Amino acid sequence: MSVGLKETSSPLLVIQDLEISFPGPEPSVGVRSASLSVAPGTITGLVGESGSGKSLTCRSVNRLIPRPGEITNGHVAFDGRDVLAMSKKELRKFRATEVGMIFQDPFTALNPTLRIGKQLAETLRVNLGLSNAEAKARSIELLEQVDIPEAGKRYSSYPHELSGGMRQRVMIALAVAAGPKLLIADEATTALDVTTQAQILKLLLRLRDETGMAVLFVSHDMGVIAQICDGINVMYGGYVVEAGPADAILRSPQHPYTRALLQSIPSIEQARSGQRRAGIPGRPPERGEKLPGCPFVPRCRYATEPCTSVPMTLESAGPAQLTACPIKRFGTGRATVSSDQRQLAR
């Protein structure tokens, strides 16, 4: 499903020039400049290493940024409304009915002392105003919708009685119970084994098809992102360095980091032929590190001097594709790499 079809409708979520910093005795910047958009009913990926700022960015949507971090610049617009300007009351309603969030660790994301049915029913009663009986019935329906077997019995289970995969499903049920327009999935499949991962991804796709819900899928795993996302945003060092429709990004990545990420996806052919996976040399920047220009310079094969003095903004690099790579934008480095250099890297 290509993004192009939905391009005509206005985007559901727009994040513009987001900056998130952490004041205090050792101030640091978690997100330097992030811009992305999510079209309604699409699955948009946000991929990057840990420390790239992707978790912070997605948390700006429902303003759940952990203290002492705060949004120091930028705009977040949801369905045309300014999220950052919402009052506490509006924000609560917003979180309750329009945006849902699921987390990484299924073992800690559910309250261990409450039965899962109660946790579901609570959301329905408090956020949608259902009566006790209605809430219970709808909760069981939701559990069935996320493929929990014997939903009626499971209603009274405690979280520790369920497997990791089932807990993740309950978490999804909780998040979509009020029918949000956007679901934020922060590393939602990272802690799961491959089989369960596949099941959850299938579930997300099904929910999208059945309810028209959009998903902002955050992960460090390019392989997973490649599987289900319609559009991909790549983050590094606090910047969104590339964005565009999935097939375009996967076919012709415009930023060296994206390219490196794609090369690091394990594939059966590679394993068979005994080639070593191309890792990315070097390490990602620390949160407090101030890097002029493109933060990927220390690890970039193609970088040259001018890459460090150019401001990082996203510019067009093809139909619907954006990149912040200084080389592409200003032609500051070697535009092509000789084949011997490519072989050296293996």
Residues at the interface with other proteins (CB under 8 A): 25, 62, 64, 92-97, 99-101, 103-105, 108-114, 122-123, 126-127, 158, 160-161, 171, 174-175, 178
How would you classify the pairing of strands 13-22 and 70-78? antiparallel
Closer of 158 and 250 to other proteins (Cβ): 158
Coil, strand or helix: which one is 3? Answer: helix
How many C-beta atoms surround the C-beta of residue 104 within 10 A? 19
Closer of 67 and 346 to other proteins (Cβ): 67
CA distance linking residue 13 with residue 90, whole number of Å: 17
- Minimum Å gap between C-beta 89 and other proteins is 10
Q: How far apart are the first and last CA of the chain?
A: 34
CA distance linking residue 154 with residue 161, whole number of Å: 9
- Minimum Å gap between C-beta 50 and other proteins is 16
CA-angle at 266, arms to 263 and 272, nearest 5°: 115
Residue 140 backbone phi and psi in degrees, to 5: -65, -40
Hey, what are 299's tokens?
Answer: 């690890």
Closer of 86 and 198 to other proteins (Cβ): 86
- Minimum Å gap between C-beta 299 and other proteins is 30
Closer of 111 and 252 to other proteins (Cβ): 111
Max CA distance (Å), the chain: 70
- Minimum Å gap between C-beta 172 and other proteins is 11
Residue 251 backbone phi and psi in degrees, to 5: -80, -50
- Minimum Å gap between C-beta 220 and other proteins is 18
- Minimum Å gap between C-beta 174 and other proteins is 7
Closer of 188 and 312 to other proteins (Cβ): 188
Hey, what are 190's tokens?
Answer: 């990272």
CA distance linking residue 330 with residue 197, whole number of Å: 40
Closer of 3 and 12 to other proteins (Cβ): 12
Cis omega (within 30 of 0) for bond into 149: no
Closer of 150 and 161 to other proteins (Cβ): 161
- Minimum Å gap between C-beta 18 and other proteins is 19
